[in-house]
Structure 1
Amino acid sequence: MAANISQVFLINDTANETYVDTLGYNQAESIIISAFLVAIIVGTIVGNILVCVAVCLVRKLRRPCNYLLVSLAVSDLCVAILVMPMAMFYEIKGRWIFGDIVCNLWVSFDVLSCTASILNLCMISVDRYYAITKPLEYGVKRTPRRMILWVILVWCFAACISLPPLLIIGNEHSEIEESGERNNEVCLVSQDFGYQLYATMCSFYIPLTVMMVVYYKIFRAARRIVNEEKRAQSHLESHCYLEISVKNGGGPPENKISSQSPSPANPARVNHRSSSASTNTMNCITKDRMLFVHLRFVLRSVDGKS
């Protein structure tokens, strides 16, 4: 009888050890990881909801260029609501416990929302590039209908990447472990080589390359605009100084100031020169301010304020 009881306890201990090994985390580690992941999920949900609410409520933010930002926030919100909670349970448990149908939906939402998020970032970079390099021409073409069309194209392309495993190829619900046993509590996206190549290229590597090239061109264009504005400003300042100097009779600034001192013999001439110098100064300041209109328009068009 004692031997049987010992064998029962030994079997239970072995089962518990096997369960802990399969689980991967003990109770304390599971609590800490769960709290950390829940904080990330809640922060992601709250942050993206605030972005959507801000664009909807603030009139200055209801611009066509911010439609892509709202689409990006919606895609990240889908990740936080539809993907991350089940991924947290999958990570903590070490096995899939929700069934094959939920697995297919979860994997499809995962690929769809993540791909849409990356493609939205890519489209935002292209939008900023055209807003900086062609502010006047692109500012007219950036209509709400066109931006909505861009958002629809982003989500349609993301659907073209996420739907083939769900409708045609199928996802992975089991795998062979290192011990040679088959594990039927697995939920993975389709491991087909052709689909993996297609999905990784279209949802990551190609958008990444586009963003790197576009942001490099944005950097070069912005640096060129700043250098041109600095050269133009220095040229205008020197031109205004020479023009005022000639109108005042030439000479250094000290002589110009002394020449403008009141004289009882000819006060009208002094007043005429002073008013002429003031007018020339105002004209130069106006030219100098108008010179920066283009740069301000470019920067505001990027932020949606143009």
Structure 2
Amino acid sequence: MQPMFHHILIILRQTAEDQYTLQKAQRLAACQPCHFSIFIANPVKLPRPDPQLVGSLTKQQLSELSAVTSDYLISENKGNAEIHWLRNYLNESDISLVITAPLSGSGLLPGLYDKLCHFLINDCELPVWLVKTPLPLTEDSILACLDIEDASLRNQHLNEVILQVAAELANALGEPLHLLNCFQDELMTMDLSYDTAHGFKKHPDELGNHQRLLQSYLLPGNVVSPCQIHIKEGCPDNEVPLVAAQLQAGLTLIGNNHCHSRLSAVLGNTAHYLCQQTPTDMLVLKPGTVIAGRQVS
């Protein structure tokens, strides 16, 4: 089977979390054939990194990656210039996944505290794996979050790719798969339609509607492992972090349909918020994602 991610770019930030990034990359390499490129970012407040001493990385970790590492790059730039260089590099390469650890921080303007992470979520067409936790001591689970209320063809394809990637990762890593879809019941907003001839308009069973829509994605032809489906009434901003925490998930998959949005460039969007608030690793898939030769368009 063709690997989901054949060429992975590991971005190291010269932080303690770099070791977690390498651990996750090594685990991916153990379950699918791939090779790595390593990019060592240049934090504004730190000097140019020493090739012989990269943050908190150990020589053993680097040696384990050396056999499958094709490029070893050290940033000569900082800030926006570094992002510009990285954008060009990604456009000219065959990278299929970027994996890195976000810098710790919070705020209403995500681009102000971690511009590199903001770029990867909002402007980079590639999937990005944000590493937030070390490898678990026990079995983890994978949580795939869908948006079935958006009936556009573009979003349907994105949902299908989220399902495909989640199922293949669950199978490869031997972890249970959970699917989550959120809805906000029309009755909760008290938008009631009434006329004198027919009385109140009958409202559909929102839960039943979502079950039927989900079933359309879970046909035998789709690549879906045995999984547990969760349908939650509420806003995804609240429900996704809550369910991920309750399941003690190791990885949460979401889609970002708002890449290159001008508003998102300043304020962020749901994907930015979830990446900050969800206490798990995050895998953000985008329109344009290529998975095992298939492109989402």
TM over 0.5: no
TM score, norm. by length of structure 1: 0.19
TM score, norm. by length of structure 2: 0.19
More helix by share: 1
More strand by share: 2
Instruction: Give the structure with higher Rg (CA).
Output: 1
